Structure 1
Amino acid sequence: MKLTKYTKLGLLIVLSFAIFIWGMNYLKGIDFFKQNTTYNVVYERVDGLLESSAVMMNGYQVGQVKSIDFSDKNDGSLLVAFSMEGDFKIPRGSAARIISSDIMGTKSIKLQIVPSNAYYQPGDTIPGSIEEDLKEQVSMQVLPLKNKAEQLLGSLDSAITVITYVFNAEARKNLSESFSRINQTILNLETASNEISELLVSEKSNLKGIIQNMNELSASLNNNSDDFTNIVSNFSSISDSLAAADLANLIEQLNTSAEGMSSILSKIDTGTGTAGKLLNDEALYSNLADMSQSLDNLLKDFRNNPKRYVHFSAFDLGKNVFVSPQSAKVENRDSGYNLKVHLVSSPTRLSLQNSIFESFNQMEEVEISGVYSYLTGNTSDIDEIMEIHSKAKIIFPDASIVAFKNGRKVRLEKALKKLGN
C-alpha cells in the first residue's frame, strides 16, 4: 500500500514528538529503556532540593528526584520520590540525606547505606535527614567562640576593676614603701654576706682545724666500731636479762621491805619494842656501859691472875665429841632444809624443754600470782648448790640461791646457818 504525503507527514510529526519526549526525559535522567525503581522519602523541609536533582551513592549518581509534593499528613512535610537505575536494592536501616553537592549550594540526595540482609521494596518510604547548611555550621562553630569571648570580656572587666581599685594613691604609696623596704633588705643581706665572707677569711685556720678534728673523731669512731658493737651487744644482753627478770615482783618485794623498814624505824623512834627501848632508854644504856666496864675489868683480872679462875688436872674424865663431815651431812638432810637455784621469773609460761634450760638436769616450775618462776637443783650440800649457782650465773646473771624447809621458803641466812653447823 502506497502512503500519501499527508500520512508520511503525520507519522513524521508523531515520531518527532516521541523523540522530543524521550530526549527531554533522558536529559532529566529518565531512560525508558532501563529498569528504574522508585522510593519515597518524607522531609520536614527540602532546603532547595529540586525535581531531577541527583541521587548519589559513594560519589556516584545512581538516580534522580522524580517529584516533590506535600505528604498526606497535612503537617507541612514534603514527600520526595526518587528513582534509581538498575536493580540495586537499598538495605533496611539506610537513609536518604539531603546535602550540598557543590560550593554553590546545589542540593542532592546522598544515600547512606547500612549493610543488612533485608531490603526496602519499590515504593517503600525510607528514613530521611537533612545536612546542616553552611550558616548553621558556621553558627555552631562560632557559638563556643562567642561564649568564650563573652566570658573573657567579663574577666577582663573584673580584672580592670580590681586593678583600678588596687592602684589608687594609697596603694601606690604602700607599694613604693614595700619596694624601698625590699631594697633595704637586699642591702642588709649584702652587708651580712660581706661580714660572713670576712669572718670566713679571718677564721680560715680555725675552721680548718675544726674540720681536721672532726675527721680525726670520725676516724676514731670508725676504728672503734667493734668496741661500740660490743657495748651495744652488752646493753642488749642486759636489756634481755631485765626483760626476763621478774621486775614487778622484785619491786613489790622492795616496796614491802621499805614499808617494813619504815615501820621498824618508826617503832624504834617512838621507843616501842626491844630495839626502841634499847636506843631510847638512858638507864639501860648506863647499865650496859657499866656492865661493859665491869667485863673489861674482869678480863684484865683474868689475864693477870688466871689461877683464880682455871684449875688444871692431870686427868680429864670428860668426853670429847667429834662430828665428821659425813655425820654433818646426814644431820643436815634430816634437818628438813634444802637449797635450790632460782634462774628466772616470767609473766608468761616457758617450756621446760626450752633451749635456755638444756644445761640443767633438774628443772622445776612454780606459779605464784600469775608469775612463773623456774628453779634448778635440790640439795642440802652447800658446795653442790654453789657449783650449780656458778654455772647458772653464766646464762642467767641474776640467778640466786633460795632456801626451803619442808617445802616452804625460808630465809637463806637461816638455812645456811643451820646447814653449816
Structure 2
Amino acid sequence: MKVTREVKTAVLVLSGIALFVYLFSYLKGDDLFSNTNTYYTEFDYNALSPSSSVTIRGNKVGKVEEIKYDFETGKTKVYFSVNPNLKFSKSSVIRLYETGLMGGNALAIVNSNKGELAEPGDFIASEVQPGLITSLKSNFSGISSDLDSTIRSADTLMTNINKLVVDESEAGLKSTIEELNLTLKSFKSLSYSVQDVIKANDNKIDSILNNFNTTSQNLTKLSEDIKDIELAKTVAKFDESLTSINDLLASLNNNDGTIGKLLNDDALYNNLEAASKEMEELLLDIKLHPARYRRILSKKEIPYQPPTEDQKN
C-alpha cells in the first residue's frame, strides 16, 4: 500500500502538535503521563501561582494545579496535586511559606501522623508562615527609627571630635595627627616590650601557674581534711557528753549517790523535811529570845518555851 504525500504531511503535522502540547505542559510542570491525587485548601489571600511547588520536609512532591476565588466566603481556594505514593493524615496542615528573598512562595505539607488518611478531593487546613521580607516590612518603621538614631549619634560624635581640634589650620591638624601617631607608636613599642618580657619569662610564668594550680588543689584537699577531722572530733565529743548524761541519769534512777537517794528515798526526804522544820523553829526561838543565846556560856539556864501561835504568825 502506498502512502500518499498528503497522509505523510498530516501525520507529521499531528505529531508536531502533540509534541508541542507535551513540551508546553512539561514546561508548565505538568506531566501528561503521570497519575496524581488532588486536594484543596483555603487562604485569606492569594500569594501563589499555578505550578508553585508543594513540598514535604523540603522535598518536592507536587504542585499547585488551580487557584480560584470563592465569592461567597471571600477565600482563595488552592487546588494542588501530589504523588499518589504520598500518604498523609487528614489532620495535617498546608503551610504557605516564602522560598527565597525574591518573594517566591510554595506550599508545605506538615504531616501530623494522627487520624485517618486524607483522600483525594479532601479539604486540608492551612496556615501562613511569616517570611523574612514580611518581617522586615512589619518592622521597617522600627528599623528606620533606629537607623536615624544611629546617624544622629554619629553626627554628634563627629561634632565633638571637631570641637576637640581647636586649631582648624592645616598646621594644627598636622600637629594633632603627628602627636596621635607618636602615641600609637609608643603604645606599639610598649606592647612589643611586654610581649618580649612574656616570651623571655614564658617558662617561669608557666611554672608559676602550675605551682599555683598545685597549691590551690592542695589547699582544697587540706581544707576538706580539716573539715572531716573537726567534724569527727565534734561527733566524738558529743557522743561522750551523751554517754555521761546517760550514766548520770542511770545513777539517779538506781539510788546511787546522794542525789539519787534524795530523789528516790522517802525516808531521807522526810528526815530532811523534819530537820528543816526544826531549824525553822530554832531560828524563830533565837529571834524571840535572843538573851537566852547570849547567856549560853553562863551557868544560868533559861528553859525552853515553845512559841505561841501569835508569835509564830
TM-score (norm 1): 0.37
> Between Structure 1 and Structure 2, which shows a larger proportion of strand residues?
1
TM-score (norm 2): 0.48
* Structure showing greater Rg: 1
